[in-house]
Structure 1
Amino acid sequence: MTDFAQTVGASALPRPFWRYWLGLLASALGDAVVYVALPFLALGTLPPGSQRGAAAIGLVVLALSLPRFFAPLLGGLADRWPPRTLLSLSAVLRTVGVAGVGALALRGGLNLTVVAGLAFVLGLLTTLSFTAQSAMVPRLVTPHQLPRANSLTSAAMMGAPLVGYGLGGFGVAHWGAGASLLVGAALTALLLLGTLALPPMPGAAGGTLDPLGDLRSSLKAIRQNPLLLALFAMSFALNLSMNVTNVRAPLHMLAAGRGAADYATFEMLISGGVLLGIALVGPLSARFPLDKLIGAGRLILVLGMAGFVFGGVQPWWAAAGVFGVGLGLLEVVTTTRIQGLIPADLRGRVTGSVMAVNALGLTLGAGLAAQDLATSTLMLALTGVLALLTLLWPLAVRRLGS
């Protein structure tokens, strides 16, 4: 059956994409509200004066993160099931789960197990939705439209939380965590309207679900392509570096500046840089090949990471903006390049493998940051790793072309 992308024009993005994008934007707002409320729900399940607050929040964060390791399996579903069915089902389950726990919280019938269970289910469904979306978007738009479509979806998922976190904080402070969950559920429900507007498309791959076979097929596709190997290596190193930075940045701001106030500025600069990098993809991809943009994005990341070697607050602020631009640019361009390198019937599984590799990098990064090493030493070492991978990228491009 012909993909929908083959029936649309080469210039304007199709109307179903825009309807889905609006639903995705609302859902990203809702997710941010929920993620702010979850830690406070966990704390609310503890008796007054309990010293287990850090452990309770840690359990919720772990429950949110663990489903990333199931991404290769979920990618197999994304390749085989119709995208509209899969994304609609995910939206319904997320809405019902969040609304149900919110109602329980308002009635006072909540415990930590329920909160952690909701976090795990949300992590699982979010991972499933991301793999399905990554496999679906290249079939919904033409190859010429793909960089723009990926820029818009990344902007929705990364930009909306800037507003959503503020809405979540306001909601928890004024309405309580339970009521905030209901707000998040209402926003997530709007995603269902966007998914139902998608055209009917069958699953790209046939056969039954085979977790081990799916993992082998995705790893085989990666091993056989030097560009995919290079992209995976950078993705792992980048996520490891990001979690080291996430752990060390608050400590650095506390030691060198005003603590939380300076750290908030640091995070805002990274987020602003990410959005700028995403916005640059459209005009730059029209003038330069994607492989050159990937090389440029890697170089910008190296420059940003190098700024974290220095002490003081202002150098870290400047480095945060530069790092964010590289991160936003690389996020969209790398996703687009990977989608073009993979056959349609393998996109979900390979995307799932990417997410699993990223999860491993994040986990190891958190462990590395906890070691008794100077921050400047850690950042210098990470800068060296990213610089080496940046130098190896042109070699991978030439090897693919040879």
Structure 2
Amino acid sequence: MTSTQRLPATFWLYLIGMAAAALGDAILSIALPYVTLGLPQSAGATSIASVVLAGTLPRFLGPLLGSIADRTPPHRIFLMTSLTRALCVLVCGLLLFQGLLPLSGLMALAFLNGTLATLAYAAGSAFVPRLLSAAQLPQANSLSSGAMMGLPLVGYGLGGTLLHLLGDAGTLLIAVPLFLIFTGISLSLTRLPAAQGKQANLWRDLQTGWSVLRHSKLLLSLLSLSFTLNLAMNIMNVRSPLHMRDFGRGSADYAVFEMLISGGVLLGILMVTPLAKKFSLDTLIGVGRWVLALGMSGFLWSPVPMWWGAAAIFGIGLGLLEVAAVTRSQQVVPAEVRGRVLGALMAFNALGLTLGALVAGWPVKTSTLMGSLTLLLAFLAVLWPFAIRSAQTSSTEATEA
């Protein structure tokens, strides 16, 4: 394995900037549900679902944002997105201090933050493979995923504590300097040119992205799981704060819940490196699917400690999948179309996020929703070996042809 010292300095700078932004996002993710519940016009689950849905809608812009990522120097995207996010959070925090922030303003913040975060993610996903060799990608993806999940552990705990110490507005404002760290780092990153110099054509770009996905059975299988996970995560984003309020200590228990998910993800990511020496990435993806189903089954029960345990198990499944699935996707997708393929993927996943936010607002028992998700994840785990076999058969036929 390539040693970490051989990774270029600009990768480490990028990693620090993205980690700081991830910490800011973690604080926001803890604060926003309780900011929403604290608004005078809040309607509980419906209002939280509205804010979550607003943050989901930018995923439908994935094809456009992916096209922008392919055709814009990445350091410019990182600079613009981080600075704009800091300004948006600053304005909303100050309005909240004055008691002037309406629910529509919070939804606007969720939408803008989601749009800018999606653009930065698309740019980063195309930026890192251009910096490194193919042999370095698994290591870099492990480091990136570990940092993205490790620092949010701090953010979730910090967010829950800050809500008690500083209140809603003060907690929002803490995220501002974290986004600005990435702004400063963006000025020092390697100035790579745009990956694609041709003029943008949104419809053609969308067709290109979908064509790559449609002709790869492996990517289609990964896409189905990604859609389901986005559906599940938005249901959890809406129902878990309410569950902690009804059966626990509210924001304090919700912070622990999020910390355990991220801790599980971090543990799963750390497990990938030693396991990958003995098992294939496809095997790890299959194991991760079953772990996800097991974790989801724990949400069928009401006690908060059961949810905490389920969160940790679910997180481990996510972590096992994170590095393996990202690396497999990077191996399949050509460099010059990665942004557009990712954009098409995000647009499809947005359907899952939107459906999750809508379903979470229905008057259906949480245990019923979690039971249905458990069965769906188990079904996808059963299908994975067949997907691998089908992809291998197609690859063999293409080689012979």
Q: What TM bracket, shorter-length normalisation?
A: 0.7 to 0.9
Aligned with 2:284: secondary structure? helix
Which residue number corresponds to residue 22 of structure 1?
A: 16
Cα distance between partner residues in 2 of 1:202 and 1:223: 29
How far has the Cα of 1:150 moved from its partner?
A: 1.7
Establish whether residue 125 from structure 1 lines up as the match of residue 116 from structure 2.
yes
Counterpart amino acid of 1:240? L
Cα distance between partner residues in 2 of 1:79 and 1:243: 28
Equivalent runs, 1:279-294 vs 2, <5 Å: 279-294=270-285
Counterpart amino acid of 1:29? L
Structure 1-normalised TM-score? 0.83
How far has the Cα of 1:17 moved from its partner?
A: 0.9
Identity percentage over the alignment? 50
Cα distance between partner residues in 2 of 1:9 and 1:269: 29
Aligned with 2:210: secondary structure? helix
Which residue number corresponds to residue 218 of structure 1?
A: 209
Q: Name whichever of 364-373 and 184-193 sits farther off.
A: 364-373
Aligned with 2:177: secondary structure? helix
Structure 2-normalised TM-score? 0.84
How far has the Cα of 1:228 moved from its partner?
A: 0.6
Cα distance between partner residues in 1 of 2:103 and 2:133: 46
Establish whether residue 70 from structure 1 lines up as the match of residue 61 from structure 2.
yes
Distance 1:59 1:238, change over 3 A: closer
Alpha-carbon contact 2:157-2:256 (below 8 Å) kept? no
Cα distance between partner residues in 2 of 1:93 and 1:233: 33
Alpha-carbon contact 1:147-1:281 (below 8 Å) kept? no
Alignment root-mean-square deviation, CA: 3.3
Which residue number corresponds to residue 329 of structure 2?
A: 338
How far has the Cα of 1:251 moved from its partner?
A: 6.5
How far has the Cα of 1:188 moved from its partner?
A: 1.0
For 1:98, which of 63, 68, 89 is the aligned residue? Answer: 89
How far has the Cα of 1:352 moved from its partner?
A: 2.0
Which residue number corresponds to residue 394 of structure 1?
A: 385
Counterpart amino acid of 1:231? L
Cα distance between partner residues in 1 of 2:358 and 2:364: 12
Establish whether residue 357 from structure 1 lines up as the match of residue 348 from structure 2.
yes
Alpha-carbon contact 2:52-2:234 (below 8 Å) kept? no
Counterpart amino acid of 2:7? L
Cα distance between partner residues in 2 of 1:112 and 1:279: 40
Cα distance between partner residues in 1 of 2:96 and 2:137: 42
Counterpart amino acid of 1:149? A
Cα distance between partner residues in 2 of 1:287 and 1:87: 37
How far has the Cα of 1:232 moved from its partner?
A: 0.4
Q: Name whichever of 164-173 and 102-111 sits farther off.
A: 102-111
Q: Name whichever of 177-186 and 206-215 sits farther off.
A: 177-186
Q: Note the residue ranges of structure 2 that are not aligned, 5 or more in a row.
A: 394-401
Cα distance between partner residues in 2 of 1:204 and 1:214: 14
How far has the Cα of 1:168 moved from its partner?
A: 3.7
Counterpart amino acid of 2:293? V
Cα distance between partner residues in 1 of 2:383 and 2:65: 31
Aligned with 1:401: secondary structure? helix
Which residue number corresponds to residue 296 of structure 1?
A: 287
Q: Deviations 1:92-146 (Å, cap 9, x if unpaired)?
A: 2223333344455567765555444333221111110011111111112222221
Cα distance between partner residues in 2 of 1:134 and 1:110: 34
Alpha-carbon contact 1:147-1:285 (below 8 Å) kept? no
Which residue number corresponds to residue 190 of structure 1?
A: 181
Number of residue pairs matched?
A: 390
Aligned with 1:206: secondary structure? coil
Cα distance between partner residues in 2 of 1:262 and 1:41: 16
How far has the Cα of 1:369 moved from its partner?
A: 4.4
For 1:348, which of 326, 339, 343 is the aligned residue? Answer: 339
Which residue number corresponds to residue 27 of structure 2?
A: 33
Cα distance between partner residues in 1 of 2:108 and 2:186: 25
Establish whether residue 84 from structure 1 lines up as the match of residue 75 from structure 2.
yes
Cα distance between partner residues in 1 of 2:31 and 2:169: 8
How far has the Cα of 1:310 moved from its partner?
A: 5.9
Q: Deviations 1:218-260 (Å, cap 9, x if unpaired)?
A: 11111100001100011112222334445555676778x6464
Establish whether residue 238 from structure 1 lines up as the match of residue 238 from structure 2.
no
Aligned with 1:144: secondary structure? helix
Cα distance between partner residues in 2 of 1:377 and 1:122: 31
Q: Deviations 1:292-324 (Å, cap 9, x if unpaired)?
A: 211121122223234445676665444332221
Q: Name whichever of 284-293 and 319-328 sits farther off.
A: 284-293
Alpha-carbon contact 2:153-2:263 (below 8 Å) kept? no
Alpha-carbon contact 2:159-2:171 (below 8 Å) kept? yes
Counterpart amino acid of 1:124? T
How far has the Cα of 1:344 moved from its partner?
A: 0.9
Which residue number corresponds to residue 3 of structure 1?
A: none
Cα distance between partner residues in 2 of 1:238 and 1:94: 26
Equivalent runs, 1:249-398 vs 2, <5 Å: 258=248, 260=250, 265-309=256-300, 316-371=307-362, 377-398=368-389
Alpha-carbon contact 2:10-2:190 (below 8 Å) kept? yes
Q: Name whichever of 70-79 and 386-395 sits farther off.
A: 386-395
Q: Note the residue ranges of structure 1 that are not aligned, 5 or more in a row.
A: 1-7
Distance 1:300 1:115, change over 3 A: closer
Aligned with 2:134: secondary structure? coil
Which residue number corresponds to residue 199 of structure 2?
A: 208
Distance 1:360 1:208, change over 3 A: same
Which residue number corresponds to residue 140 of structure 1?
A: 131
Counterpart amino acid of 1:332? V
Distance 1:57 1:273, change over 3 A: closer
Cα distance between partner residues in 1 of 2:347 and 2:24: 24
Q: Deviations 1:269-313 (Å, cap 9, x if unpaired)?
A: 323211111211222234432212111211222232344456766
Alpha-carbon contact 1:98-1:184 (below 8 Å) kept? yes
